[in-house]
């Protein structure tokens, strides 16, 4: 999961030699590399952004893919959440942040706005009350001035006290940590900050990452072997951006022609030897038994007499002789006529009657016994067994029935949300909960979204009390309380 690397370009001539249709590591990837670990991190952070209850810190060293991670969050934004993204290195004042938050609250439609914290808060509160969740992603957050980050976090806390905060994710390099001003993320109340760390790839992830990029570029064979992958991993340390550069270097080197042998600058001797072997093979095969003696003489002539290689005149003479011999063999082959047996079939083949072979073209001739029409017989087949029930569809149907049966005034706890149900099912199998947890397929703004809902409670406070009883590791994934009225099961 990394952005394209411009300095990982492979020369165009090398691309052709490698059989690649595009740049594998310098052009944008057709599909981002995402294994189970990365998908899990994305789903957890998306759920946290949807709940508005925690600030997310995306941590990782330079080059591990923090920028690409934020890009994917924005492209996967869940229904009801409007995400804006900016680079902390381009922020000159808090007004830049307020402008982006207003754009998120207005879903990008900002006609006029006086940058100011109070005005921003008004837009965010109105969006939250209408059911929208504005979200702000800041890349290179460590580059923000201390006063700017302090004002941003103070604004978030002020709105959070009224349960109307905007969603916030900050990507930063821990090695470049600096004072965050009067309020730092790690100084916020316990349980209000969730940190997710992006790690360098393992050697196995490196191999899958490279294979995916090469396949997308049109590679039809394995261009890099196991030892090549190991060398790339050692040189890059598993950082995707460095993997791009090292893999491009390795492929460029492989595309170069092999060096010529010492003392043979032209390579003419090897070419002449190969040509002589080919000519001998043609003479032995084309001439048949009568050409064996001539072939033996040609063997002596080509390998002894022509040690330095035949001249151009000798090459033409030999080629003309071979062409004449081939024409003679072809003419003899054309003169062969199919043999017929007593029944008149070609080469004595036993053909079915309806494919009968004969000289007669009379269409009124009597049909032979083999050509008489055959009355087909019907064979009763066992009916196909009923299809096996789909466990996923059964679970979704059960969840939909449960959510629709609950009164809209009651409240539930959303544990996790994702764009694919398999991720949630795997998560559910890893946790142990007392109350039943239901998988519900929802639809909002035309998008499908899957949620895990846990329990049913009479009011919001009862649901919050139940949420606080959940395991700490589960709460840190972004659990939040919502009403059944806000749950919209997808209609079939």
- Point out the residues of the chain with pLDDT beneath 70: 1-6, 29-30, 109-114, 176-191, 259-387, 444-446, 491-492
C-alpha 337/C-alpha 191 separation (Å) is 93
In a domain, 463, yes or no: yes
Domain count, the chain: 3
Residues 238 and 284 in one domain: no
Query: For the domain that residue 449 is a member of, what is the CATH number?
Result: 3.30.70.1070
Residues 431 and 301 in one domain: no
In a domain, 464, yes or no: yes
Residues 219 and 288 in one domain: no
Residues 403 and 275 in one domain: no
Helices (H) and strands (E) in the chain, counts: 16, 9
Instruction: Tell me what pLDDT residue 471 has.
Output: 83
Q: Where is the domain boundary, 256, 290, 319?
A: 256
- Under DSSP, the state recorded for 313 is H
Residues 276 and 188 in one domain: no
Residues 210 and 132 in one domain: yes
- Start-to-end CA span in the chain (Å): 35
Q: What pLDDT digit, counting tens, does each position of 238-282 carry?
A: 988 899 999 999 999 998 877 665 555 554 444 455 555 555 555
C-alpha 40/C-alpha 256 separation (Å) is 41
In a domain, 17, yes or no: yes
C-alpha 138/C-alpha 172 separation (Å) is 9
In a domain, 373, yes or no: no
Instruction: Tell me what pLDDT residue 278 has.
Output: 57
Residues 108 and 181 in one domain: yes
Handedness of CA 411, 412, 416, 417 (dihedral sign): negative
C-alpha dihedral, 196 to 201 to 207 to 212, nearest 10°: 40
Instruction: Tell me what pLDDT residue 340 has.
Output: 46
In a domain, 400, yes or no: yes
Instruction: Tell me what pLDDT residue 165 has.
Output: 92
In a domain, 80, yes or no: yes
Name beta bridge partners: 438: 453
Contacts (Cβ under 8 Å, ≥6 apart) of 324: none
Residues 216 and 288 in one domain: no
Residues 137 and 250 in one domain: yes
**Where does 349-420 have alpha helices with state H?**
391-405
C-alpha 204/C-alpha 201 separation (Å) is 8
Q: Give, in order, the Cα–Cα distances in Å from 349 to each of 343, 356, 359.
A: 9, 10, 16
Residues 185 and 298 in one domain: no
Instruction: Tell me what pLDDT residue 346 has.
Output: 44
Query: For the domain that residue 31 is a member of, what is the CATH number?
Result: 3.40.50.300
Residues 125 and 248 in one domain: yes
Instruction: Tell me what pLDDT residue 335 has.
Output: 47
In a domain, 148, yes or no: yes
Which domain range does residue 416 map to? 391-486
C-alpha 40/C-alpha 108 separation (Å) is 28
Handedness of CA 427, 138, 199, 69 (dihedral sign): positive
Instruction: Tell me what pLDDT residue 491 has.
Output: 67
* CB-based contact 83:73 (threshold 8 Å): yes
Residues 204 and 281 in one domain: no
b/e sequence 456-483, b meaning 16+ C-beta within 10 Å? bbeeeeebeebbeebeeebbbbbbbbbb
Q: What pLDDT digit, counting tens, does each position of 3-40 carry?
A: 556 678 999 989 988 999 999 998 776 677 887 788 88
In a domain, 325, yes or no: no
Q: What pLDDT digit, counting tens, does each position of 340-399 carry?
A: 445 444 444 444 443 333 443 344 434 444 444 444 443 444 555 666 778 888 888 899
């Amino acid at each position: 999961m990394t952005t394209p690397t411009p300095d990982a370009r492979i020369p165009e001539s090398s691309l052709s030699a490698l059989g690649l249709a595009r740049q594998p590591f310098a052009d944008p990837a057709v599909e981002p590399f995402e294994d189970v670990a990365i998908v899990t991190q994305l789903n957890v952070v998306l759920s946290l952004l949807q709940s508005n209850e925690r600030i997310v810190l995306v941590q990782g060293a330079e080059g591990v893919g923090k920028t690409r991670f934020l890009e994917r969050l924005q492209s996967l934004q869940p229904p009801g959440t409007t995400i804006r993204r900016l680079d902390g290195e381009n922020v000159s004042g808090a007004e830049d942040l307020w402008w982006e938050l207003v754009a998120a609250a207005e879903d990008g439609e900002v006609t006029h706005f006086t940058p100011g914290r109070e005005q921003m808060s008004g837009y965010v509160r109105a969006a939250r009350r209408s059911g929208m969740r504005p979200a702000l992603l800041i890349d290179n957050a460590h580059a923000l001035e201390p006063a700017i980050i302090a004002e941003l976090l103070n604004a978030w806390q002020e709105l959070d006290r009224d349960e109307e905060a905007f969603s916030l994710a900050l990507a930063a390099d821990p090695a470049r940590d600096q004072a965050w001003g009067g309020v730092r993320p790690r100084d916020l109340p316990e349980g209000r900050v969730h940190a997710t760390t992006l790690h360098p790839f393992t050697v196995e992830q490196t191999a899958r990452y490279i294979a995916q990029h090469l396949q997308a570029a049109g590679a039809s064979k394995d261009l890099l072997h196991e030892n090549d992958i190991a060398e790339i991993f050692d040189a890059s340390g598993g950082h995707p951006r460095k993997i791009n550069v090292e893999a491009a270097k390795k492929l460029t080197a492989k595309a170069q022609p092999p060096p010529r042998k010492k003392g043979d600058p032209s390579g003419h001797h090897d070419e002449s030897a190969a040509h002589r072997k080919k000519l001998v093979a043609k003479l032995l095969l084309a001439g048949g038994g009568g050409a064996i003696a001539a072939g033996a003489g040609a063997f002596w002539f080509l390998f002894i007499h022509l040690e330095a290689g035949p001249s151009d005149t000798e090459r033409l003479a030999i080629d003309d002789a071979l062409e004449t011999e081939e024409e003679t063999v072809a003419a003899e082959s054309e003169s062969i006529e199919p043999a017929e047996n007593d029944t008149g079939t070609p080469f004595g083949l036993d053909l079915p009657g309806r494919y009968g072979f004969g000289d007669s073209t009379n269409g009124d001739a009597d049909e032979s016994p083999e050509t008489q029409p055959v009355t087909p017989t019907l064979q009763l087949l066992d009916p196909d067994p009923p299809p096996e029930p789909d466990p996923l569809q059964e679970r979704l149907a059960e969840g939909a029935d449960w959510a629709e049966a609950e009164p809209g005034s009651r409240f539930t706890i959303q544990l996790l949300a994702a764009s694919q149900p398999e991720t949630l099912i795997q998560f559910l199998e890893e946790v142990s909960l007392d109350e039943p947890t239901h998988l519900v397929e929802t639809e909002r703004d035309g998008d499908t979204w899957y949620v895990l809902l846990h329990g049913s409670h009479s009011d919001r406070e009862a649901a919050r009390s139940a949420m606080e009883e959940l395991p700490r590791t589960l709460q840190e994934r972004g659990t939040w309380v919502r009403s059944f009225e806000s749950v919209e099961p997808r209609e079939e």
